Each structure stands twice: as C-alpha cells, then as structure tokens.
Structure 1
Amino acid sequence: MLIDCHNHLGADLLFYLHGDFPYSQQLVQMQHEGGALGITHWIAFPFVSYAAMDVTKFRSGGIGFGQGGLETVPYAFENKRLLDECQKLFPEEGKRILPFVMVDPMRNTDEQAKELVKLRGEYRFHGIKIQSTIIQSDIKRLAHEGKVFLDLAREWDVPFIIHSSVAKDDLWAQAHDIIDIAEANPDIRFCAAHSCRYDKECLDRIQALPNAWFDNSAHCIHCVGAVDNLPYIAPRDRRFDSDYSDPGRVTADLAAAYPDKFIWGSDSPFYSYAAEISGKVVKLISTYEAEIKALRAAGDEAVQRITCTNTLKYLKLADESILS
C-alpha cells in the first residue's frame, strides 16, 4: 500500500483567472498518472480559493469577501463537489480516495460547521484541510472563531492537514503557530504540510508531540528553494541539515531523523508552480514521477513507513476495510 497524503481535486478559479499554474485536476486523471507510478490510495481535498470569495477580483489577483461571491458559505460548494466526484460520479475510483474537507478558520465558521455536519450525514470523509495563506485567513483564528472545527475534529476523531510557511511576509500560516495549536489540543491529530519548509526547530517540536506529524508535499521544488536560498524555505541557520541538491537524499535523511513523524505526499498538482510575478515569469517545475523517484531513494523500509505505517497511524481509520 502506498498512500499519497496530499492532493487537490477540482479547480481553482483564482489561479485560472489570474493566469497562474496549476489550476485544476480531475480524479481519474490523478489516479491514472499516480497509479502507474505505484500509488494505491490518495488523501484528497479541494483547491484553495472558493466560490464564496469575491470572484470579481480574481483576474487582478485580489482577495476579497462579502461582495461578488457566487456562494455565501466558504467551501460549501467545493466540499460537496469533491465528495460527489469521489462517491457519486466515480464510486469505483473513489474507493481509493480518502477525502478531506476544506475550511476557512476565520470567516462564517458556524455556517461552515453546519454544512459539514450535513455532509457528514451523507458522505464519507476522513479529515480537515486548511490552506490559509492564499485566502489570507490567520491560522491562529482556529483557536477562536474557528474553534468549531476543532470541536468537530474531536467529536469525529479526524485529523487536520494544515499548510505551513516560514516566509516572513506570510502572516497567515506560520509553522510555529500551527504547532502551538497542536500543543494546545493534545487530543486532536495534526499534520503540518511541506516539511515546515525544512525548519529544524519546528520539525523537532513535531517530533516531541504525540499528536503531530509533517508531510513533505511539493518536496522537489522545495529542495530547489533550499539550494537557491529562496525566502519560502527556512534560512540556513534554521534549516534541517541535508544535501538539498539531491531530493532523494533529503527524503532519506528526514525519514531517518523523524522515523515516526514523516508522512509522504506529492501535493499533486502543486508539485509544480508557474506564475508571472512583477512582470517576470517564475517557474518551479517537478513531476509526479520525480516525486516518486525521490521517495523510493529512501529505501523500501522507509517507503513503507512514510507512505503507509505513519499515515495510517495519523489517520486512525475507524474502518480500515475501506482501503481494501
């Protein structure tokens, strides 16, 4: 069994209208490509922008709320659309999908929770995903107006995957804030995405917590960022020590240093990113095949541990027969 713990399905209208890449992925397309590489199961969730945002601002890359939305409740449309695709449109293919719902931890949270309760009565899903950077929603609000999501995770015994950042200009998703929330809620499971951008202090804090894990989604382009000392990666004095010119070496080193806390994920299709920023095209390009190559370089024992053993412990599935 090889579980890819980090995938987006659907479409992102903000990325599409603003001219950024990627902006969509279909369930069947993802399974066809990943399955040929040996992946057997996928944790999947919607893309990040949602129809309750002010879509009239998307062509300029603006982020707005309250006016110009196609919906009123964050992620209500996107979550149902994902679950319909996995469990109604393609039920056979969907058996190998472990859906997570998306939430905005700051806006209209009570209404979001009501929609999730309705979905829970009709569909199967196994966790909650937050990407707070793009929607500019402070992850610290998860402990305040977003507390309703902590309560639901506790009631349903499902975990969180939370996008993490260490960039100074990211005010919404700092890795240390996510770990603070995990420390304050020891009865809820958390996964900080993107290896905390290789910030060793954050990774060491996760190592010390019984309810926390990290994934290495979009690993290859993050290794490029480390080699080039780009600002979205932890600076050298805080960075986990490895040879970032070799993504496979980094995978093996992380698996050895954090044997029970490392969960593998590709971030499909966001293992690549391209956009025009300040008049210059920025491209960070990888492939599903490259992500798998870096995974397998860690060796069979580590692959089993970070794609299955650790992931199943993190998921704590009430009924593991859904994986058969």
Structure 2
Amino acid sequence: MLIDCHNHIGADLLFYLHGDFPYAQQLVDMTHMGGALGITHWVVFPFVSYAAMDVTKFRKGEIADGPGLESVPYAFENRRLLEECQRLFPEVGEKTLPFVMVDPMRHTDAQAAELLKLRSEFRFHGIKIQSTILQADIKRLMHEGRVFLDLAREWDVPFLIHSSVAPDDLWAQAHDILDIAEANPDIRFCAAHSCRFDKECLDRVQALPNAWFDNSAHCIHCDCVLKEMPNIAPPARRFDSDYSDPARVIADLAAAYPDKFMWGSDSPFYSYAAQLGGKVVKLISTYEREMAALHASPVEVVRRIAATNTLKYLKLPDESILA
C-alpha cells in the first residue's frame, strides 16, 4: 500500500480564467499516472474556488461572495467529486479516500446542511480547507466555522488544512492552524506543505498528539528555498537540511518526525505557473520527481510516511480500508 495523501480532482475556474496553472485534473488520469508509479490509494478533494463565488471577478483574480452559479460554497464541487469517485468511475474511485472542501467563513450553516445530505449518500474520510485562495481567515474555524469542528468530532474525521508562513498571507498561518489543533484535542489535524519547513511549527506538530503534517508539493518547495522565496520559512526558523536534494529533505524530516510525517504529491499542484506582478513565476516538478524523492529512502521509511502514518491519521486500520 502506498497512499498519496494530497490530491485535487476537478477544475478551478479562478485559475483558468486568471491564466494560472494548473487548473484541472481528472480522476482517471491521476490514478493512471500515479498508479504506473506505484501509488495504490489517493486522498482526494476538489479544487479551491467554487461556483457560489462571483465568477465574474475571476479574470481579475479577485475573490468575492456571490451571486454565483450556485448559492452554497462547495455544494456543487463536493457532490461532483463524490459522484465521480463513487458513481461514474467506482472501479477507480474505490482506490480514493475523498475529503470534502469547506469555506470556514461564508455561509457555514448552509454548507453544513449540504454536508449532512452528502454523508447520507456517500463515504468521505475528512475535511479539507484552503483558506489562502478563499481569503478566509482560518481562525474563523473557531467562530462561524465551528459547525465544521462539530461535524468532524461527530463523524470522527480529520482536517487537512493548507498552511503558510508568508508574512503577507493573512489567512492560513501555520501557527494559527496549530492553535486550533491545540484547542480541539479530540479532533485530528494535518498542516499541509511541511509548514513551509518552519521548524518551530514542525516541532509543535510533533508535540501535539492530534497533529500531523504532509509534504505536499515538496520538490517545488525545496526549489523555493534555493530561490530564497518569501513563501518559505526564513533561515533562522527553517528546518535544517540540504534543500538542493529533495530526497535528503524527506529523509531528514522522516527521521526528525517519524510518526507525524505523511507523504503527498499535491497533484497537480506539484507544479505552479502564474503571472504575478507582471512577471511569470514558474515552479515545475513532476509526479515522477516527487516519487523519486520518496523512494530514495529505505522501504521501511517509505511504508511509514506513505501508509502507516496516514492510516493512523485517518483512523483506518489496514489495507482493507475500502472493503
């Protein structure tokens, strides 16, 4: 068993209309490509923008509440994902562990009502939040978004939350996510993207019994260190490793945080390209490169970070998880 714990399925109209990349991924294509590399299971969730936003703003890269094509955030996107995995392509979807997406700030009661409907029709294994693109402060999860904490507690499912340490990211700071985890010890949390290699946050994950981290989009985050980009923890706070060698970083993280590290590719966001401030920013990796960095570690390490830890986070006992 080899689990990729971080993947997007569907399409993102914001990225497409604004001219950013990537903006779509099909379930069948993802499993075909990843399966050829040895992956057996995928945690999947929708892309980030949703049809209840004012899509007329997307060409300018702006985020605004509706009126949109839908009225409830992620109602369409979550159902579309689950139908694709469990009704359109069940022979492929049986290898997936779907998470639903939520917006922690907007129309949260209406979102919760839709999730209750979905729970009666489909299986899903967790809740995903990407609050940076939504421009929704993750701290709202403790306020109007508390209904999602209540559902996670009732269903005994974890959160997987996009994390940031960039000073200008007001919405997804890793330390805020860990504050929420600490305040809710009976709910499991994963901070994505290795907390951008912030050692203070990684050490805090290690100390919290209900917290994990994933290394999604690992290779381009290593590239960001080499480029001295501001989305990565500065040197004084950075986990010590050789970032010119992504495989070395995986090995070092796995040694330092043996039970808290989960491997994920962030497909298709292992690559990113956009025009920012009049300049083209390109950070390009491949599924093959992500897998090569993983498999440079010994088999027992690979099994731990790409199966054992993820199963524990999901509270799923073994390979029979989808039986």
Q: TM-score range by the shorter chain?
A: over 0.9
CA contact (8 A) 1:41 1:98 kept: yes
In the alignment, is residue 134 of structure 1 matched against residue 129 of structure 2? Answer: no
- Alignment correspondent of 1:292: 291
How many Å separate the matches in 1 of 2:252 and 2:298? 11
How many Å separate the matches in 2 of 1:323 and 1:311? 14
User: 314-323 vs 179-188, which deviates more?
Assistant: 314-323
CA displacement at 1:280 relative to structure 2 = 1.3
CA displacement at 1:319 relative to structure 2 = 8.6
- What code does the residue aligned with 1:143 have? M
Q: Aligned to 2:121, what secondary structure does the other structure show?
A: coil
How many Å separate the matches in 2 of 1:79 and 1:320? 25
Q: Aligned to 1:291, what secondary structure does the other structure show?
A: helix
How many Å separate the matches in 2 of 1:306 and 1:197? 18
CA contact (8 A) 1:95 1:322 kept: no
- Alignment correspondent of 2:260: 261
- Alignment correspondent of 1:158: 157
- Alignment correspondent of 2:24: 24
- Alignment correspondent of 1:62: 62
Q: Aligned to 2:275, what secondary structure does the other structure show?
A: strand
Matching of residues 226-237 of structure 1 within 5 Å: 226-237=225-236
1:110-143 per-residue CA deviation (whole Å, 9 max, x = no partner) reads 0000000000000010000000000100000000
- Alignment correspondent of 1:83: 82
- What code does the residue aligned with 2:65 have? F
- Alignment correspondent of 2:173: 174
1:289-315 per-residue CA deviation (whole Å, 9 max, x = no partner) reads 000001111221110000010000000
CA contact (8 A) 2:12 2:50 kept: yes
- Alignment correspondent of 2:47: 47
CA contact (8 A) 2:213 2:261 kept: yes
Q: Aligned to 1:171, what secondary structure does the other structure show?
A: coil
How many Å separate the matches in 2 of 1:126 and 1:71? 24
How many Å separate the matches in 2 of 1:40 and 1:312? 13
How many Å separate the matches in 2 of 1:203 and 1:322? 28
| TM-score normalized by the length of structure 2 | 0.99
How many Å separate the matches in 1 of 2:170 and 2:297? 34
- What code does the residue aligned with 1:266 have? S
In the alignment, is residue 124 of structure 1 matched against residue 123 of structure 2? Answer: yes
- What code does the residue aligned with 1:214 have? F
CA contact (8 A) 2:175 2:201 kept: yes
- What code does the residue aligned with 1:28 have? V
- Alignment correspondent of 2:103: 104
Q: Determine what percentage of the aligned residue pairs are the same residue.
A: 80
- What code does the residue aligned with 1:98 have? L
| TM-score normalized by the length of structure 1 | 0.98
In the alignment, is residue 4 of structure 1 matched against residue 4 of structure 2? Answer: yes
In the alignment, is residue 317 of structure 1 matched against residue 288 of structure 2? Answer: no
Q: How many residues align?
A: 323
Structure 1: runs of 5 or more not aligned: none
Q: Aligned to 2:97, what secondary structure does the other structure show?
A: strand
How many Å separate the matches in 1 of 2:212 and 2:65? 32
- What code does the residue aligned with 1:162 have? I
User: 134-143 vs 273-282, which deviates more?
Assistant: 273-282
- Alignment correspondent of 1:206: 205
User: Given the superposition, is the C-alpha separation of residues 10 and 193 from structure 1 closer, same or farther in structure 2, using an over 3 Å criterion?
Assistant: same
Q: Aligned to 2:115, what secondary structure does the other structure show?
A: helix
- What code does the residue aligned with 2:143 have? H
Q: Aligned to 1:145, what secondary structure does the other structure show?
A: coil
CA contact (8 A) 2:272 2:283 kept: yes
How many Å separate the matches in 1 of 2:14 and 2:7? 18
How many Å separate the matches in 2 of 1:220 and 1:107? 33
How many Å separate the matches in 2 of 1:320 and 1:302? 18
CA displacement at 1:318 relative to structure 2 = 7.5
Structure 2: runs of 5 or more not aligned: none
CA contact (8 A) 1:255 1:298 kept: no
- Alignment correspondent of 1:270: 269
Moved over 6 A (4+): none
1:249-308 per-residue CA deviation (whole Å, 9 max, x = no partner) reads 000000000000000000000000001112211100000000000111122111000001
CA displacement at 1:227 relative to structure 2 = 1.3
Q: Aligned to 1:133, what secondary structure does the other structure show?
A: helix
- Alignment correspondent of 1:34: 34
Q: Aligned to 2:33, what secondary structure does the other structure show?
A: helix
Q: Aligned to 2:132, what secondary structure does the other structure show?
A: coil
How many Å separate the matches in 1 of 2:31 and 2:215? 20
1:172-211 per-residue CA deviation (whole Å, 9 max, x = no partner) reads 0000000000000000000000000000000000000110
